[in-house]
């Protein structure tokens, strides 16, 4: 029983310490439909602060094609973010908000993770349930996931990612959010 209580105490402590470092991300994507009309659609994701002066890490697919990027913190503060850079093939992107005094997360090493280790995630599932926490374990390491997409030349490109597998409940909108180990490291 003590280990279960300790697990929940640790995930509660991680949430309390880092919820203000997590953000909900909303993007507007402008495209042209088959009738030649300009259409604006919205998408949502998550991210986390990596520097006190406003650099935020997220997934590339969260901001891909975005015409505008809005970032919301747990205290309700909203900022317009700019895209700094990223790697589509590794599904990672950095965005920036004009803010100071933010609390960055602590970055750990995925190579230090163990199967069965307790983990916690904070995110924006479904783009509406901001700052939701789920907990679970690392289910497997070094899972190779291959994705494919069509490039501008209408050619299919495949990318293989080496990922961690977790049983944390993760839904659309959680993309880009942090996965914390039991020490509060991403």
| Residue 11 is a catalytic residue | no
pLDDT at 127: 66
Higher pLDDT, 37 or 97: 97
CA Rg value for the chain: 17
pLDDT at 1: 43
The answer to whether the predicted template modeling score (pTM) of the entire model surpasses 0.75 is yes
Catalytic-labelled residue, pool 11, 21, 132, 175:
175
| Residue 175 is a catalytic residue | yes
Catalytic-labelled residue, pool 53, 61, 68, 75:
61
Among 35-39, 51-55, 180-184, the minimum mean pLDDT is found in 35-39
Distances (CA, A) of 127 to 8, 12, 26, 168, 173: 25, 22, 8, 17, 5
Among residues of the chain, what percentage have pLDDT more than 70? 92
| Residue 28 is a catalytic residue | no
d(CA 51, CA 12): 23
Catalytic-labelled residue, pool 11, 21, 46, 91:
91
Distances (CA, A) of 82 to 27, 67, 68, 184: 11, 10, 8, 27
Asked whether 69 and 46 are in contact (CB, 8 A), the reply is no
């Amino acid at each position: 029983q003590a280990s279960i209580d300790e697990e929940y105490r640790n995930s509660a402590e991680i949430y309390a310490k880092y919820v203000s470092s997590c953000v909900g991300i909303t993007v507007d994507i402008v495209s042209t439909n088959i009738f030649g009309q300009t259409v604006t659609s919205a998408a949502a994701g998550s991210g986390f602060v990596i520097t006190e002066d406003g650099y935020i890490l997220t997934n590339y697919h969260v901001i891909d094609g975005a015409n505008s990027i809005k970032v919301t913190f747990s205290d309700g503060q909203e900022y317009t973010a700019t895209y700094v850079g990223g790697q589509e093939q590794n599904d990672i992107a950095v965005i920036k908000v004009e803010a100071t005094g933010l609390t960055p997360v602590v970055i750990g090493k995925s190579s230090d993770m163990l199967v069965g280790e307790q983990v916690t995630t904070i995110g924006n599932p479904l783009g509406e349930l901001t700052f939701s926490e789920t907990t679970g374990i690392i289910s497997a390491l070094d899972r190779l996931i291959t994705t494919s997409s069509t490039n501008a030349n209408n050619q299919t490109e495949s990318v293989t990612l080496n990922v961690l597998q977790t049983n944390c409940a993760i839904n659309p909108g959680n993309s880009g959010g942090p996965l914390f180990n039991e020490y509060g490291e991403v």
